[in-house]
């Protein structure tokens, strides 16, 4: 999709992919063997857990939606060279904002309008949270990594406060979250609640928009130029600080959509772990996709398969479901290793 | 220790930084290496200190060939270098820095080193408090610490790269007397500088480098005039004086009593006016204020005091984009650092100039890139990434990206690192700009380039404009003196 594709020869690309796959397989098998579990059945059940039935596949898609939305957002912030670790908090902020709208909607009626408003509020909430990190960087000189990380904790804290405070269930607050919304405020689904066509449509739209903005618009090119060399971009007439805020706003907007989807389409309430770590996971997705739009949805899909596939491992094999995390981690490490080795082989000068 | 360099060559791409250098440095002497920026001094010293690998040639230590390619190997052989920017660890204390690389045991013997540090510092009359963090020291004190540390490591040959930049005159005296003392104790000192007065005051022998070659070699007593001619060359043609460049047109840029911090020297009370269509050359040793002058004129740095006017309008304190809107364009020396965006193609660089609309007109940008490539003879295609171009072609791309009719062009070393053909070509383009009324201000390390291209020359020394003359009213000797701070 990129107008200017990278010039890696296909043979080398294939070799790299094979090396990465092999590395992941070896590392994961090693961990399994150390844990005293047979690797083959583990991989088999992992596969079965993701593709064993239509309902499993539908579950995978329900994970794919928020993960890909976060990845879409990160494409903007990575393009301008920002490490938007705060994406996790932006998901949470989006979820909080859309819960607020739905709580109002319980009394107000007009459910369709309320769901639309909940998505809009989610987007704005995520955006605002991200722009806060952006201003911390441009006005306060706080690195976006630290600012974002700090804001993640704040967002998490606010969620807990809401669940146990103002928004607590009648009677006593509990870790299971706020009270469930009436079904009229749930995102419409097919296959008895397994697949949300609206969620899929929003995600595909976000992907198309991201690809279009990054490759076809002046904004996308400005983000790329500043990400490549902010000083030169400034001399060429672009104002990096303005674009930092815009990129963060767009990234946060996508993450906020993911949060809104978690509330309206998955949990139908606000829970303490509403983000399900999809923000952090999306960082890995985009890194693996080499910060490009076309690769991200596929890697997000693979990651979603791992997440869903590992759910039944504890039941079938008495293995912890964290195996998916190990595979994802091993994947990122081997990929970074391959890139690192390649850079080293190209011969970098000794650091000054 | 006696050092002999035979036919040392070092190539960076197409550039011969060292082009067959022979040098003999006798034991117990202070040997000065003099030369303009880009003459190859620093490269030669980095080769000797093991910091860069030479392309070819031999280094003899006491007549024995020595091969090494790492600073720590050089230190073990007894060669140590004091870099212009001290390679120390600012958050650590003086004592901790001193012990770095010395204390190799598992248990640190802090007290023993404290005593040793004090002895050595006293020996040279340095005042170093072992408990102070290095970041709180002055450049001069950090230098003293580094000097003592290198000696404690057993260094016999000491290379100093521009040691007198940024230190007080008192510290300079202390440094010089320490160096004299070291030489009398049999150590060999190599002093690299472009400051004639320092080298003359301290050294027993001076070698002048120019364009990567040894231009001349002189023992005591020194002839200053001859050294200057060696440094700057004397083959300069008498400058042409053009009638059209009388400097009577309307003002393009005016600096009124401008002072600013930045660079090595800052800039103090600068009073300069540039008229329409005038070509102004900025001469001076690197870091004497030319770079800051250009950045102030571009609005990239802000003055502490004084006023800057562009086309009669007061622009003081406004940002670069406001200057751009008035027709000021700045071309930095660091092409990939500040000028171009690595990772972006030539087409993308042109596309960034599109001012209106949401969507980029890629075909249009591609056409403009294609035209730029043809008109500016850039060796590359519209899809070439900026960093894949050679230095000369990067410069051509930057020129191709210039607006059609700027009021003022500010160029920092526009031809640095280019071959003669490209230099001629660049100036052809720039002269065309001047003819249509654009004012040009450029800095250069090549005095002959300034002499040939500029209508007027400003000479910077230590942050002050020490000379402001029309090219036809001055001589190379006069300028060279001003550049060396003797004007």
DSSP string, A217-228: BHHHHHHHHHHH
Which 3 state secondary structure label does DSSP give B370? helix
Query: Touching check for B350 and chain A: CB below 8 Å?
Result: no
Q: What is the CATH number of the domain that holds A235?
A: 1.10.3470
Tally of domains in chain A = 1
Q: Which domains does chain B have, with CATH numbers?
A: 3-232 (3.40.50.300), 251-483 (3.40.50.300)
Residues B327 and B276: beta-carbon distance below 8 Å: no
Cα gap A234→B152, rounded to integer Å: 47
Please answer yes or no on whether A224 and B351 come within 8 Å at the CB atom.
no
Domain annotation covers residue A22: yes
Query: Touching check for B87 and chain A: CB below 8 Å?
Result: no
Is residue A93 over pLDDT 70?
A: yes
What number is the average pLDDT over the span A258-268?
A: 94
Which residues from A are below 8 Å from B330, CB to CB? 235
Residue A119, min C-alpha distance to chain B (Å) = 25
Query: Which candidate in B344, B381, B398, B403 is best for mutational testing of the A interface (most A CBs within 10 A)?
Result: B344
Which residues from A are below 8 Å from B294, CB to CB? none
Please answer yes or no on whether A238 and B357 come within 8 Å at the CB atom.
no
pLDDT at B235: 53
Q: Which residues 209-268 of A have a C-beta within 8 angstroms of B?
A: 216-222, 224-225, 228-229, 231-239
Give the model confidence (pLDDT) of A140-152 as tens digits: 999 999 999 999 9
Query: Touching check for B362 and chain A: CB below 8 Å?
Result: yes
Q: What is the DSSP letter of A177?
A: -
Give the model confidence (pLDDT) of A196-231 as tens digits: 889 999 999 999 999 999 999 999 999 999 999 999
Cα gap B24→B98, rounded to integer Å: 31
Structural element, H or E, at residue A149: helix A144-164
Segments forming the whole domain that contains residue A256: 10-345
Please answer yes or no on whether B344 and A228 come within 8 Å at the CB atom.
yes
Residues B245 and B54: beta-carbon distance below 8 Å: no
- Pairing mode, if any, of strands B3-12 and B157-161? unpaired
CB environment A197-208: b (16+ within 10 A), e (fewer): ebbbebbeebbe
B-chain residue closest to A79, CA distance = B343
Go through chain A and tell me how many residues it has. 352
Cα gap A71→A137, rounded to integer Å: 21
Domain annotation covers residue A4: no
Of the two residues B141 and B256, the one the predictor is more confident about is B256
Is residue B234 over pLDDT 70?
A: no
Is residue B178 over pLDDT 70?
A: yes
Domain annotation covers residue A316: yes
Closest CB to A4: pick one of B345, B357, B359.
B345
B-chain residue closest to A222, CA distance = B352
Domain annotation covers residue A200: yes
Which 3 state secondary structure label does DSSP give B466? strand
Q: How far apart are the first and last CA of chain B?
A: 38
Please answer yes or no on whether B341 and A217 come within 8 Å at the CB atom.
no
pLDDT at B60: 86
Domain annotation covers residue A3: no
Domain annotation covers residue A217: yes
Please answer yes or no on whether A219 and B358 come within 8 Å at the CB atom.
yes
CB environment B77-99: b (16+ within 10 A), e (fewer): bbbbbbbbebebeeeebbbbbbb
Indicate left, alpha or beta for B233 from its phi (over 0: left) and psi (-120 to 50: alpha): left
Please answer yes or no on whether B360 and A221 come within 8 Å at the CB atom.
yes
Query: Touching check for B381 and chain A: CB below 8 Å?
Result: no
Residues B288 and B462: beta-carbon distance below 8 Å: yes
Structural element, H or E, at residue B253: strand B251-260
Go through chain B and tell me how many residues it has. 487
Cα gap A304→A49, rounded to integer Å: 11
Tell me the sheet residues that pair with B470: B456
Percentage of chain B lying above the pLDDT 90 cut: 21
Encoding tokens for residue A191? 């296959």
Which 3 state secondary structure label does DSSP give B345? strand
Residues B188 and B27: beta-carbon distance below 8 Å: yes
Cα gap B361→B370, rounded to integer Å: 14
> Quick count: other Cβ atoms within 10 Å of Cβ A209?
14
Which residues from B are below 8 Å from A239, CB to CB? 321
Cα gap A61→B184, rounded to integer Å: 81
Cα gap B434→B441, rounded to integer Å: 10
Residue B164, min C-alpha distance to chain A (Å) = 22
Residues B176 and B201: beta-carbon distance below 8 Å: yes
Q: What single string gives the DSSP state of each residue in A15-65? A: HHHHHHHHHHHHHHHHHHHHTT--HHHHHHHHHHHHHSSHHHHHHHHHHHH
Using 50, 70 and 90 to split pLDDT, how confident is the model at A351?
very low
Cα gap B321→B214, rounded to integer Å: 45
Is residue B486 over pLDDT 80?
A: no
Q: What is the DSSP letter of B135?
A: G
Percentage of chain B lying above the pLDDT 70 cut: 94
Using 50, 70 and 90 to split pLDDT, how confident is the model at B415?
confident
Which residues from B are below 8 Å from A4, CB to CB? 345, 348, 383
Domain annotation covers residue A1: no
Cα gap A113→B375, rounded to integer Å: 58
Give CA angle at A140 (A134, A144), nearest 5°: 40
Give the model confidence (pLDDT) of A41-57 as tens digits: 888 888 888 888 888 88
Domain annotation covers residue A351: no
Using 50, 70 and 90 to split pLDDT, how confident is the model at B439?
very high
Cα gap B437→A111, rounded to integer Å: 67
Place of tokens 């709180």: B136
Give ipTM to 2 decimals: 0.83
Q: Average pLDDT of chain B?
A: 85
Which residues from A are below 8 Å from B354, CB to CB? 218
Is residue B80 over pLDDT 90?
A: no
Query: Touching check for B328 and chain A: CB below 8 Å?
Result: no
Please answer yes or no on whether B352 and A222 come within 8 Å at the CB atom.
yes
Please answer yes or no on whether B383 and A4 come within 8 Å at the CB atom.
yes
B-chain residue closest to A219, CA distance = B358
Q: Which pairs with CB-CB distance under 8 Å and at least 24 residues apart come from A2-10?
A: A2/A215, A2/A292, A2/A293, A2/A294, A3/A215, A3/A216, A3/B362, A4/B345, A4/B348, A4/B383, A6/A290
What's the whole-model pTM score? 0.77
Please answer yes or no on whether B352 and A216 come within 8 Å at the CB atom.
no
Query: Touching check for B2 and chain A: CB below 8 Å?
Result: no
Cα gap B185→B183, rounded to integer Å: 5
Cα gap B221→B204, rounded to integer Å: 9
Compute the radius of gyration of chain B from its Cα atoms. Answer: 25
Place of tokens 């005042």: B127
């Amino acid at each position: 999709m990129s107008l200017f594709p990278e010039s890696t020869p296909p043979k080398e690309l294939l070799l790299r992919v094979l090396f990465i796959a092999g590395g992941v397989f070896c590392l994961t098998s090693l961990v399994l063997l150390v844990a005293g579990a047979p690797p083959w059945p583990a991989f088999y059940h992992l596969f079965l857990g993701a593709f064993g039935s239509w309902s499993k596949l539908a579950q995978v898609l329900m994970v794919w939606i928020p993960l890909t939305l976060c990845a879409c957002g990160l494409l903007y912030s990575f393009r301008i060279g920002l490490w938007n670790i705060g994406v996790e908090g932006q998901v949470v902020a989006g979820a909080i904002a859309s819960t607020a709208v739905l709580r109002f909607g319980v009394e107000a009626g007009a459910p369709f309008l309320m769901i639309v408003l909940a998505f809009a509020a989610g987007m704005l909430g995520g955006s605002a949270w991200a722009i806060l990190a952006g201003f911390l960087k441009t006005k306060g000189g706080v690195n976006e990594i630290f600012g974002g990380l700090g804001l993640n904790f704040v967002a998490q804290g606010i969620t807990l406060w809401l669940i146990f405070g103002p928004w607590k269930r009648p009677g006593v607050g509990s870790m299971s979250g706020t009270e469930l919304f009436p079904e009229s405020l749930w995102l419409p689904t097919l296959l008895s609640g397994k697949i949300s066509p609206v969620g899929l449509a929003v995600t595909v739209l976000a992907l198309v928009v991201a690809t279009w903005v990054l490759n076809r618009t002046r904004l996308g090119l400005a983000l790329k130029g500043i990400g490549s060399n902010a000083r030169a971009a400034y001399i060429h007439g672009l104002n990096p600080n303005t674009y930092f805020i815009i990129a963060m706003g767009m990234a946060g907007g996508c993450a906020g959509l993911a949060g809104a989807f978690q509330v309206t389409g998955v949990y139908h309430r606000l829970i303490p772990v509403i983000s399900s770590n999809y923000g952090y996971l999306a960082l890995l997705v985009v890194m693996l996709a080499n910060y490009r739009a076309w690769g991200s949805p596929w890697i997000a899909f693979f990651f979603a398969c791992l997440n869903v596939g590992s759910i039944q491992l504890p039941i079938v094999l008495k293995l912890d479901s964290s195996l998916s995390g190990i595979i994802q981690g091993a994947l990122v490490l081997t990929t970074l290793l391959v890139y690192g080795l390649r850079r080293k082989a190209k011969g970098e000068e000794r650091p000054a | 220790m006696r050092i002999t360099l035979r036919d040392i060559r070092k190539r960076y791409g197409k550039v011969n930084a060292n082009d067959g250098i022979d040098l003999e440095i006798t034991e117990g002497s202070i040997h000065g290496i003099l030369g303009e920026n880009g003459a190859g001094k620093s490269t030669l010293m980095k080769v000797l200190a093991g910091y860069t690998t030479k392309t070819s040639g031999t280094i003899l230590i006491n007549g024995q060939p020595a091969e090494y390619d790492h600073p720590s190997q050089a230190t073990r052989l007894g060669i140590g270098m004091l870099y212009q920017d001290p390679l120390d660890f600012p958050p650590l204390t003086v004592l901790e820095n001193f012990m770095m690389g010395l204390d190799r045991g598992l248990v640190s013997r802090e007290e023993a080193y404290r005593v040793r540090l004090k002895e050595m510092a006293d020996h040279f009359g340095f005042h170093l408090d072992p408990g102070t963090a290095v970041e709180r020291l002055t450049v001069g004190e950090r230098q003293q610490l580094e000097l003592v540390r290198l000696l404690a490591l057993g260094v016999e040959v000491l290379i100093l790269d521009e040691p007198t930049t940024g230190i007080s005159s008192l510290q300079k005296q202390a440094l010089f007397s320490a160096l004299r003392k070291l030489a009398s104790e049999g150590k060999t000192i190599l002093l690299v500088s472009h400051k004639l007065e320092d080298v003359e005051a301290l050294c027993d022998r001076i070698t002048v480098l120019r364009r990567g070659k040894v231009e001349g070699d002189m023992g005591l007593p020194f002839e200053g005039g001859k050294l200057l001619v060696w440094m700057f060359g004397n083959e300069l043609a008498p400058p042409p004086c053009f009638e059209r460049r009388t400097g009577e047109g309307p003002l393009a840029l005016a600096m009124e009593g401008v002072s600013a911090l930045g660079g090595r020297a800052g800039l103090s009370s600068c009073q300069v006016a540039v008229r329409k269509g005038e070509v102004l050359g900025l001469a001076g040793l690197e870091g004497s204020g030319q770079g800051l002058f250009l950045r102030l004129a571009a609005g990239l740095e802000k003055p502490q005091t004084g006023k800057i006017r562009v086309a009669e309008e007061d622009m003081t304190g406004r940002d670069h984009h406001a200057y751009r809107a008035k027709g000021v364009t700045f071309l930095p020396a660091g092409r990939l650092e500040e000028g171009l965006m690595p990772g972006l193609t030539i087409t993308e660089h042109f596309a960034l100039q599109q001012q209106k609309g949401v969507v980029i007109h890629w075909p249009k940008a591609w056409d403009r890139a294609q035209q730029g490539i043809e008109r500016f003879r850039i060796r590359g295609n519209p899809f070439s990434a900026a960093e894949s171009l050679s230095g000369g072609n990067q410069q051509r791309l930057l020129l191709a990206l210039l607006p059609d009719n700027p009021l003022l062009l500010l160029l920092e070393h526009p031809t640095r690192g280019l071959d003669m053909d490209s230099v001629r070509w660049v100036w052809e383009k720039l002269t065309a700009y001047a003819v249509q009324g654009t004012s040009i201000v450029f800095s250069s390390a090549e005095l002959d380039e300034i002499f040939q291209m500029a209508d007027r020359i400003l000479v910077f020394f230590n942050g002050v404009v020490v000379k402001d003359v029309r090219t036809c009213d001055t001589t190379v000797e006069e300028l060279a003196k001003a550049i060396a701070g003797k004007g």
